[in-house]
Amino acid sequence: MNDEKVLTKHPLGKANKPVLKHDYDTFKAAILSALRRRELTHTELLNELTKGLKGRFSGNVGWHVMVVKLDLEARKLIERTSSSPQKYRLK
């Protein structure tokens, strides 16, 4: 198995975690695909990815969603809205 990792970024410059490249690519594609359809709250995004990745991913979905989502924010691919509740959308 390929153990190549992506060192993720954090939008506030905090230290973030390395993620296996295969897992990072899987979650990045899933998050961007979900947000192409509509803006989602964190809970909606988590629920959609949990259902969509069922059977294709056996790790902690919640942790991966959080880390990759923060990385995508730091890379300016997605952003948070100022609405209440806060949602995520493509930038």
Residue 1 has pLDDT above 60, yes or no: no
What the block records as the tokens of 62 is: 């919640």
List, for residues 68-91, the tens digit of each pLDDT value.
999 999 999 999 998 899 999 999
- Report DSSP letters for 10-75, one per residue: -TTS----EEEHHHHHHHHHHHHHHHHH--B-HHHHHHHHHHHTTTT--S-HHHHHHHHHHHHHHT
| Assigned CATH topology for domain 5-90 | Arc Repressor Mutant, subunit A (1.10.10)
List, for residues 25-38, the tens digit of each pLDDT value.
999 999 999 999 99
List, for residues 46-60, the tens digit of each pLDDT value.
999 999 998 888 889
Domain ranges of the chain: 5-90
